[in-house]
Amino acid sequence: MSWNVLWKAVAYVLAVLSLLPTIGYFLHPNPPWNYYLVILPLVAAALAPILALSGGLGVLFGIRVQAWPAAALGLIGAGLSLVVVLQTSGPHRAFDASFPGSVESASRAIPPRRGFGLPRVSEPLFEPDIPFAVVPDTDRTLLCDLWEPGREVERSGVAVVFLHGGAWYLSDKDFGTRPFFRQLASRGHVVMDVAYRLAPEVEMRPMVGDVLRAVAWMKDHAADYGVNPERIVLAGASSGGHLALLAAYSPGDSRLTPPDLMGRDLGVRAVLSLYGPVDLAACYDYWDQERTLGMPPVEIGAPGAAAAEKSMDNAGRLDILLGGHLPEVPESYALLSPINHVHPGAPPTFLYQGKRDVIAPVESAVEMEHRLRSAGVPVVNVLRPWINHAFDLITPTISPAARALTHDVLLFLELTT
């Protein structure tokens, strides 16, 4: 094989690699295929700088050996990747309406949105598998991980109680979040990473109770970790974001608060939802949940059910989580939708998701923002183009979108705590 042929092959490979993931941006299949193909745009957004470099090299090599189709493909791939970098990490004005005049000064205290990868930070203290509650009348122990600032970092007094995603059915604490938690700890914040109970062990209401138990534990142990009990923040991603909003908006609501916690101070300073669903009735249609009508029922109440024993077909099934389909139990869908709990006393709220999200309907986030503003609640709603659900879990250390998200989370905490 001649060197010319070899370099042509390299040019084509680099060009195709830069372009292939971006195909996902132009595919809009119906469920369930939209969930299966979401990996393409996720990779394209997370690896945008690498793909832009790959496309640029494809252009150079293509021109060098006169492989003009390779050069053209590389140019398109590099161009699209650069657009993604700019669109997913650029400035926006989502903070200005709720925090006029204070955003610019607060931004100076934290790393900028743009830059290659997450900033290097000191190593935090990490303590795994801390029991924080035993469910009454059972021997079920709930666990969390604690991330504390390194010894050389001054503590801020803020604690972030974080809830993982996974369709209320899968995953666990300490899944893909370590880079993000390191950034939070580097600013002096303590992170409590919570493993709440999942379906089919429980339906959705007891999950809210587990979140409130985590808040109560952190308030009780605040002094042990240098935390101000009045500066506790609830946060979560996907289903965890939904639970964070629900618990933050309804502390003391007898329909959602376990009896053992009634009368406790469970209020939080602020709440953050990363691509969390806010309106379950809207999600029922958006996820085409009618297709589950013929599926067999799933028994709730299997303590310690391992993820390996679960069927992916049941992940996110709202009929399992809420006791029936929307036409059967509309009151459950209403009660467990954060959008229906907005009130003037709700804590400042941070919403963040992609405009191409296949899980959390963007229209619901816009309506949520409108209701919060109407109630006088400070709200930041960031809707980023070109990114999809769970975008921050793919190569977060180099993803422009993940860095921009981290900047905005830190900025929100600076402004509200």
Residue among 95, 97, 114 nearest 105 (CA): 95
Residue among 224, 238, 241, 239 nearest 161 (CA): 241
**pLDDT value at residue 303:** 55
Task: Verify cis geometry, omega within 30 degrees of 0, for the bond prior to 385.
Answer: no
**pLDDT value at residue 308:** 47
**pLDDT value at residue 32:** 66
- 19 to each of 24, 76, 176, 268, 341, how far by Cα in Å? 10, 7, 26, 45, 44
Residue among 110, 118, 56 nearest 82 (CA): 56
pLDDT along the chain (417 residues), means of 10: 82 92 78 74 91 95 92 95 93 94 89 90 96 95 98 96 96 96 98 96 96 98 98 98 98 94 96 98 94 84 58 88 96 98 98 94 98 98 94 94 97 97
Q: Whats the size of the chain, residue-wise? A: 417
Query: What are the structural domain ranges in the chain?
Result: 3-89, 103-416
**pLDDT value at residue 31:** 65
Per the CB < 8 A criterion, the answer to whether 233 and 157 are in contact is: no
Would you state the CATH architecture of domain 103-416? 3-Layer(aba) Sandwich (3.40)
**pLDDT value at residue 55:** 95
- DSSP code per residue over 256-286: TS-GGGTTS----SEEEEES----HHHHHHH
Per the CB < 8 A criterion, the answer to whether 342 and 377 are in contact is: yes
Q: Tokens in use for 282? A: 């809207």
